[in-house]
Chains A and B, each alone.
Chain A
Amino acid sequence: MLDRLGEDGKVLAGGQSLIPLMKLRFAAPAALVDINRVPGLDQITEEGGGLRIGALVRHKACERSQVLRGRFGVLHDVAPLISDPIVRNLGTVAGSLAHADPQGDWASALLAAGAEVVARSAAGERTIPLDELLKGPFTTVLEPNEIVTEVRVPDPGSRAGGTYRKLERKVGDFATVGVAVHVSLADGSVARAGIALTAVGPINFRATAAEQALLDGGFGDEAIGAAARLAADAAEPRSDLRGSADYKRGVVRIFTERALHQVARSVRGEG
C-alpha cells in the first residue's frame, strides 16, 4: 500500500507526534496507514542477550518492563521522561525514531545502546544502524514505502549499565538538554561506551571523542571527567527560550559526569 501511495502515505502508530504535526499543517499526508491493529508488533523480546522492540511498543510498556532494568538501564530510565504519562500510553519507541525530532529522547538512549532499526518494504527488509538512520531534523534515510518493524539492541554483555538525564522546564516539555550513557565492562576495562546527546545539535548524535576517553582511560574519576568535558565540546547548542548555548553546554558536561558516575557505581555493584 505504501508503495502505491509514495510520498502521499504516512504510517500511523501512536500518533502522538504525527497528529499534532498534521494539526499544525506541518504534515499533510493524503493517506494514513494505521498499523495499530497489526498483530505481533507490541512485544519486547530478549534474544541472544540483546533486545527486539516491536514497532507498536509504547513508551509506557518500556517504563514498566523488567527486562529493561539493569543492563539496559538507559532504556528503562529514558522511558518515564518521555512527554507526559497520557502521551506515553500511546506513543511508540519506533515512531519516535522515525519522527526524528532532535529534541526527542529515544534516539539518544538507543544511539548510546548501539541500536539499529529493521525497515521493511514490499521489496524486502534491511537493518539500519541508528547512526545512519538520522539525517537531519525530522529527516531519516527511510524510504516512503518503508516501515520500521522493530528496533534491535545488541547484547551489552553481563556487566553493563546506563542511564538518561534530562533537563526539562516542566513535565511534557521537550528536552533543554538530554544525555544518554551506556557502558559495558569486560575483564576490568571498558569494552563499549555509548554517550549520546539530545537537543544540542541538528540531530541526536554520539559524542565519539568522549566515548573514546572511556575506552582509553577506563571508568575512573579522571576518565569520567575527561569524557564529560569532551561531550560538552561536542555539543552544538543554540541559545533559545530554554537557555543560552553556554548554559546548555555546561549542563551537558555536568549531566555526562553525573550519569557516568552513577553507572560506574551500579556496574561495580555499589548501587
Chain B
Amino acid sequence: MAETEAHVQSIEVVVNGERRAAEVEPRMLLVHFLRGELGLTGTHIGCDTTSCGACTVLLDGVPIKSCTMFAVQASGRGVTTVEGLRRDGALHPIQQGFKEEHGLQCGFCTPGMMLVSAALLEENPNPSEEEIRWALSGNICRCTGYQNIVKAVHWAARTMQSEQASEGVESELAAEGAA
C-alpha cells in the first residue's frame, strides 16, 4: 500500500531563527537532520537511547531529546541548538557561566546542559540548587560530578538578574530624563 512505501517529505523548520526547508526521509531523526543536513554538529549524539540528554535541543523553547523525535515532527516549529544560544554576537550568560565556573571538562554533554539551563532560567530566573539539579536530572555528565555545572547555572542566573536590574535602572533614568 502506498503509505508504507519509503518516500521523502518536505519540511520547513525555523532553526536558530532561520527558515530551513528540506526534503527528508520520514523516519529521519531530528538530530540527524540537524547534524547531517544542516551541519549543526554542536548537538551531540550520546547514548541514542533517550537516556543521556546530550542531544537536547529546544523545540519552541521547550527542551526535547532530538534523538527521540523525527525531523518531520519539527516541521513548522522553531528549534534552538547550542549554535543559536549566542545573543547579538556575544555569549549567552549560560555559556559565559560555564566558562567562568569551569562547568565542563570534556564538553560532550555541555550543549544539552546549557540548553536545559537556558530554558530553566527563562521560566525560573532564580532557581535554588535543588531546582537546578532536578531540571538537569535528564542530562548525564561523566566528568564533572555536576558541582561546577550547578555553579555555572547560578552564575548565569545572577548575571541575568543583575543585567535586568541595570536595564531597569537605565530605563527609569531615561524616563526621568524624558520627564
Instruction: Give complex CA distance A90, B138 in Å.
Output: 13
Q: Is the CB of A90 within 8 A of B68?
A: yes
Q: Does B65 contact A (CB under 8 A)?
A: yes
10 contacts between A and B (CB under 8 A): A15-B68, A19-B50, A23-B49, A31-B3, A84-B138, A85-B116, A85-B134, A86-B53, A86-B56, A89-B62
Q: Is the CB of A84 within 8 A of B53?
A: yes
Q: Does A34 contact B (CB under 8 A)?
A: yes
Instruction: Give complex CA distance A90, B73 in Å.
Output: 12
Question: B51's closest neighbor in chain A, by CB?
Answer: A172
Name the contact of A85 in the complex, choosing from B48, B49, B73, B137 (C-beta under 8 A): B137
Within 8 A of B (CB), among A1-29: 1, 4-5, 8, 15-16, 19-20, 23
Q: Does B135 contact A (CB under 8 A)?
A: yes
Instruction: Give complex CA distance A1, B73 in Å.
Output: 19
What is the distance, in angstroms, from A74's C-beta to the closest C-beta of chain B?
20
Q: Is the CB of B3 within 8 A of A90?
A: no
Q: Does B64 contact A (CB under 8 A)?
A: yes
Q: Does B38 contact A (CB under 8 A)?
A: no
For A19, list chain B residues within 8 Å (CB): 50, 68-70
Q: Does A36 contact B (CB under 8 A)?
A: yes
* Interface residues as binary, A187-209 with B (CB distance below 8 Å gives 1, 0 otherwise): 00000000000000000000000
For B65, list chain A residues within 8 Å (CB): 86-87, 90
Name the contact of A87 in the complex, choosing from B26, B50, B116, B135 (C-beta under 8 A): B50
Question: Which size class do B's interface residues fall under?
Answer: 20 to 34
Within 8 A of A (CB), among B51-77: 51, 53, 56, 62-65, 68-70, 72-73
For A32, list chain B residues within 8 Å (CB): 26, 70
Q: Is the CB of B137 within 8 A of A16?
A: no
Q: Is the CB of A16 within 8 A of B68?
A: yes
What is the distance, in angstroms, from A25's C-beta to the closest C-beta of chain B?
13
What is the distance, in angstroms, from A56's C-beta to the closest C-beta of chain B?
13
From B26, B49, B53, B65, residue with most partner A Cβ within 10 Å? B65
Name the contact of A36 in the complex, choosing from B63, B73, B116 (C-beta under 8 A): B73
Instruction: Give complex CA distance A30, B49 in Å.
Output: 21
Q: Is the CB of A86 within 8 A of B51?
A: no
Q: Does A171 contact B (CB under 8 A)?
A: yes
What is the distance, in angstroms, from B45's C-beta to the closest C-beta of chain A?
12
Name the contact of B63 in the complex, choosing from A1, A5, A20, A89 (C-beta under 8 A): A89
For A5, list chain B residues within 8 Å (CB): 1, 3-4
Within 8 A of A (CB), among B79-123: 116
For B50, list chain A residues within 8 Å (CB): 16, 19-20, 87
Q: Is the CB of B4 within 8 A of A30?
A: yes
Question: B5's closest neighbor in chain A, by CB?
Answer: A30
Q: Is the CB of B63 within 8 A of A85?
A: yes
Q: Is the CB of A20 within 8 A of B138?
A: no
Q: A20-B49, A23-B48 are in contact. Are A172 and B138 (CB under 8 A)?
A: yes
Instruction: Give complex CA distance A90, B67 in Å.
Output: 13
What is the distance, in angstroms, from B5's C-beta to the closest C-beta of chain A?
9
What is the distance, in angstroms, from B157's C-beta to the closest C-beta of chain A?
17
For B56, list chain A residues within 8 Å (CB): 86
Instruction: Give complex CA distance A20, B47 in Å.
Output: 11
Q: Is the CB of A90 within 8 A of B53?
A: no
Q: Is the CB of A89 within 8 A of B137?
A: no
For A83, list chain B residues within 8 Å (CB): 138
Instruction: Give complex CA distance A34, B62 in Å.
Output: 19
Instruction: Give complex CA distance A15, B65 in Å.
Output: 11
Question: A19's closest neighbor in chain B, by CB?
Answer: B68
Within 8 A of B (CB), among A79-102: 83-87, 89-90
Instruction: Give complex CA distance A16, B72 in Å.
Output: 16
What is the distance, in angstroms, from A33's C-beta to the closest C-beta of chain B?
9
Question: B49's closest neighbor in chain A, by CB?
Answer: A20
Q: Is the CB of B3 within 8 A of A89?
A: no
Q: A20-B49, A34-B73, A87-B50 are in contact. Are A4 and B1 (CB under 8 A)?
A: yes
Known: A36-B73, A85-B116, A86-B139. 16 other contacts (CB 8 A): A5-B1, A15-B68, A15-B73, A16-B68, A20-B49, A20-B68, A32-B26, A84-B137, A86-B53, A86-B116, A89-B62, A90-B64, A90-B68, A90-B69, A171-B138, A172-B51
